[in-house]
Amino acid sequence: MRMLLKWKSGLEATNGAVRTGKMREINQSLEERTQPEAAYFCMENGHRTAHIFFDLADPSQIAVIAEPLFQDVSTTVEFIPVTTTVELRRGLAQASLV
């Protein structure tokens, strides 16, 4: 299932991780685990934030993906199912709403 992984980091922990190079390692590991189709990074309410779109083939991978973010950079993490416009139209047609 296509997912949006949204993470928002704690400032103090992330500042330290940026200074030590740990943040680069975390991002590289996250990229290897998710193989994203797209990844965007921004500031949201004063926090470093990432929006990573990827295919989650196995729900057990949620812990594998999220735990390093929780442990290393005091992050809030959301996994949000997402669809393309084509998939949404197909779903609405099946629901007899279009």
Domain that holds residue 47: 2-94
Query: What CATH number should be reported for the domain holding residue 70?
Result: 3.30.70.1060
How many domains is the chain built from? 1
Long-range pairs, 75-80, Cβ under 8 A, ≥24: 75/7, 75/8, 75/9, 75/10, 75/14, 76/7, 76/8, 77/5, 77/6, 77/7, 78/4, 78/5, 78/6, 78/7, 79/3, 79/4, 79/5, 80/3, 80/4, 80/5, 80/6
Q: What is the pLDDT of residue 97?
A: 58
pTM for the model stands at 0.85
Q: What is the pLDDT of residues 4-48, one digit of tens each?
A: 999 998 888 888 899 999 999 999 999 999 999 999 999 999 889
Three-state secondary-structure class, residue 44: strand
Q: What is the pLDDT of residues 54-75, one digit of tens each?
A: 999 999 999 999 998 888 888 8
Q: Above pLDDT 90, what percent of the chain?
A: 72
